[in-house]
Amino acid sequence: MTWWQGEDGSPRDLVVVLTALPLEADAVRRLMRDVERRVHPSGTVFSVGELPGVRTKVVLGITGEGTKEAAVITERAIETFRPAAVLLVGVAGALKDSVGLGDVVVAKRVHCYSGGKETAETFKSRPRTWDAAHRLLMLTYDLDVDWPDEPPKVHHKPIASGDTLLTSRRGPLAAMLDERFEDAVAIEMEGAGVAIGAHLRETNALAIRGISDRADEHKQAADAGGSQERAAANAAAFAVALIAAYAATLKKVKKAKPVPGHPGGEILAARLAGSVTSLCFGPGRTLLAAALSGPIRRWRLDDGEELPPIHTATWMPPRYGVRVAASPGGGPVVVRDGYRLRALQPDEPDHPPVELGSVTYPGELYFASTASYALLSWATIFRLRSTATGADLLSFTAVAASISADESTLAVAKGLVSGGRHVQVYRLRPGQDPVPTGPPIELHQAAGMALQIALSPDGTLLGGMTARWAGVFDVERGVPIMPRSGGGDLWSQFFPEAMSLVCTPRGRLLHMSKGRVLQLDVNSRDDAPFLPGGGGYRRLVMSPDGLLATGDAAGWVRVRPWQD
């Protein structure tokens, strides 16, 4: 499917429609086409499709009854799909005789009547009121609606929302509503929850309700007579007309286009909700990126299209947050969210995640190949594990690790006593244990602790960097081909989440220092700036076919082709 991207790279031309009941969802779904099923990692099911003649995508979801359920699903939908707007569509009970069965109420305001304080003498209500999004509300006054039957009346009035089903106009709840929310013309159970969820995510929201009963003793009889189906159909028709009008006000989608720059024109520029914490190339020429919270987002690099996101992350401190690793050659996507590890099949949305267990220390998810993944904990324990069996293929103390982009070679800076200066290189073969290429390569006797190592894409070269030394080695011969004493000031970049090192096919070293991407200069202690920007870079990765991807503190993800 095609996912719309806004000018900042986010999928803004998209509207989420939420309903409480299946019959309400059916009324909307009948007006959609090319519907696909998407399953959130938590199990929530969404239907994604189009409307005839409307370029904006529609995501349809069912919240269930009640304000709490509605708030959770609303925030989950916004976090996953990042829509331009959220519409709550469905049925409601009338509180005023002026509102007839089948009429449509556009909620100018949603009164949440449930909150309050109870004392020994009385109950003191503490209501909250949520105004409709002005931009959406204004469009509803002049819509061309294709009604399914006789056109109903449309009322632009407030509604009441809470967790109580009102079936009597003579009870205490009805009296309280009449006293304190006299302007409300309808009552329902989800509007306040959707309003809260949208408010927390700063997203435009509006409730559209078809009147199915009078919130009295005759509710069951009205429902049995088909009033719910009629009311839901009218609300759905009105919502579809609103989406069409709203879509016309949104900016047209722009795909990422190459722009002049160094080292090459950008083929992708997209923005996450926060600082980029994880970045990797995945199967089928894709890029995956994660921030502190929100979904792991994916792009197809051949045309810049955004693919459905995967695994919404739970917000945690940066060192405990989500990490994602994948192989350009295929296999599952491995995600570490806090202490949990799981393997996902992003192109098989109905395939459940495979739990890989947990880790004692979150540390860094270093990489994932087609058949294995690697961890390096803060306790400096390196583990290479089989994705299929979960068994450790390698396990020892280490301070840094790297895998070549073609997955042929693994390098691990082993040991603590030596400061990780001794790097063991292994050849990787499918279905076999890693095989050492020979004795460990010693970076330099006076190098200090190894801060980062990196293999070239084909595994023939090994780059290493410490606080006082940097160099590149020929892996087969174990000899340096580009040494330099006096490496850059990297101590401020010690933690892995703030570090990246790239060894190019021709042996150039690109590294990050204080958020800048620099190229190692063997003839000078002052490394040359390699990419524009004054200090916000957080991630730097290279693909097997010469693409360079960066992620920065502002959430920007960029991909550039370049020649070594």
- Pairwise pLDDT comparison (87 vs 149), residue with the higher score: 87
Q: For residue 518, what pLDDT band results from cuts at 50, 70 and 90?
A: confident
Model confidence pLDDT, tens digit, residues 335-378: 887 777 788 887 776 677 788 877 665 566 767 777 787 777 65
Q: For residue 62, what pLDDT band results from cuts at 50, 70 and 90?
A: very high
Domains assigned to the chain: 14-249 (3.40.50.1580), 266-390 (2.130.10.10), 397-553 (2.130.10.10)
Whether pLDDT at 4 is above 70: no
Whether pLDDT at 217 is above 90: no
The pLDDT value recorded for residue 153 is 95
Structure tokens at 8: 């900042």
> Rounded to an integer, what distance in angstroms lies between the CA atom of residue 368 and that of residue 329?
10
Whether pLDDT at 448 is above 60: no
> Rounded to an integer, what distance in angstroms lies between the CA atom of residue 171 and that of residue 57?
43
Phi and psi at residue 295, to the nearest 5°: -75, 155
- Pairwise pLDDT comparison (168 vs 433), residue with the higher score: 433
Q: For residue 263, what pLDDT band results from cuts at 50, 70 and 90?
A: very low
Q: For residue 499, what pLDDT band results from cuts at 50, 70 and 90?
A: low
Model confidence pLDDT, tens digit, residues 221-247: 877 888 999 999 999 999 999 999 998
Amino acid at 402: S
Whether pLDDT at 272 is above 50: yes
- Pairwise pLDDT comparison (87 vs 480), residue with the higher score: 87
Whether pLDDT at 414 is above 50: yes
Q: For residue 545, what pLDDT band results from cuts at 50, 70 and 90?
A: confident
Structure tokens at 324: 């994602």
Q: For residue 311, what pLDDT band results from cuts at 50, 70 and 90?
A: confident
Complete edge-to-edge strand list for the sheet that includes strand 469-474: 450-455, 461-466, 469-474, 479-485
- Pairwise pLDDT comparison (548 vs 535), residue with the higher score: 548
The pLDDT value recorded for residue 137 is 94
Whether pLDDT at 556 is above 50: yes
Q: For residue 58, what pLDDT band results from cuts at 50, 70 and 90?
A: very high
User: Are the C-beta atoms of residues 127 and 115 closer than 8 Å to each other?
Assistant: yes
User: Are the C-beta atoms of residues 187 and 269 closer than 8 Å to each other?
Assistant: no
The pLDDT value recorded for residue 339 is 73
> Rounded to an integer, what distance in angstroms lies between the CA atom of residue 516 and that of residue 529?
7
The pLDDT value recorded for residue 492 is 38
The pLDDT value recorded for residue 8 is 40
The pLDDT value recorded for residue 485 is 53
CA atoms within 13 A on the CB side of 122: 4
Lowest mean pLDDT, pick from 176-180, 187-191, 257-261: 257-261
Model confidence pLDDT, tens digit, residues 153-167: 999 999 999 888 887
Sign of the CA dihedral with 190 first, then 194, 200, and 204 last: negative
- Pairwise pLDDT comparison (487 vs 13), residue with the higher score: 13
> What residue spans of 347-430 are helical by DSSP H?
none
Phi and psi at residue 512, to the nearest 5°: -110, 135
For residue 18, what are the contacts with CB-CB under 8 A and spacing of at least 6? Answer: 60, 61, 62, 63, 70, 73, 74, 77, 86, 87, 88, 89, 190, 194
The pLDDT value recorded for residue 256 is 38
Segment 122-146 shows an average pLDDT of: 86
Whether pLDDT at 422 is above 60: yes
Structure tokens at 90: 């469905």
Strands 516-519 and 528-529, bridge-based pairing: antiparallel
- Pairwise pLDDT comparison (314 vs 430), residue with the higher score: 430
User: Are the C-beta atoms of residues 117 and 124 closer than 8 Å to each other?
Assistant: yes
Lowest mean pLDDT, pick from 197-211, 353-367, 463-477: 353-367
Lowest mean pLDDT, pick from 13-17, 232-236, 328-332, 498-502: 498-502
Mean pLDDT for the chain? 80
Q: For residue 104, what pLDDT band results from cuts at 50, 70 and 90?
A: very high
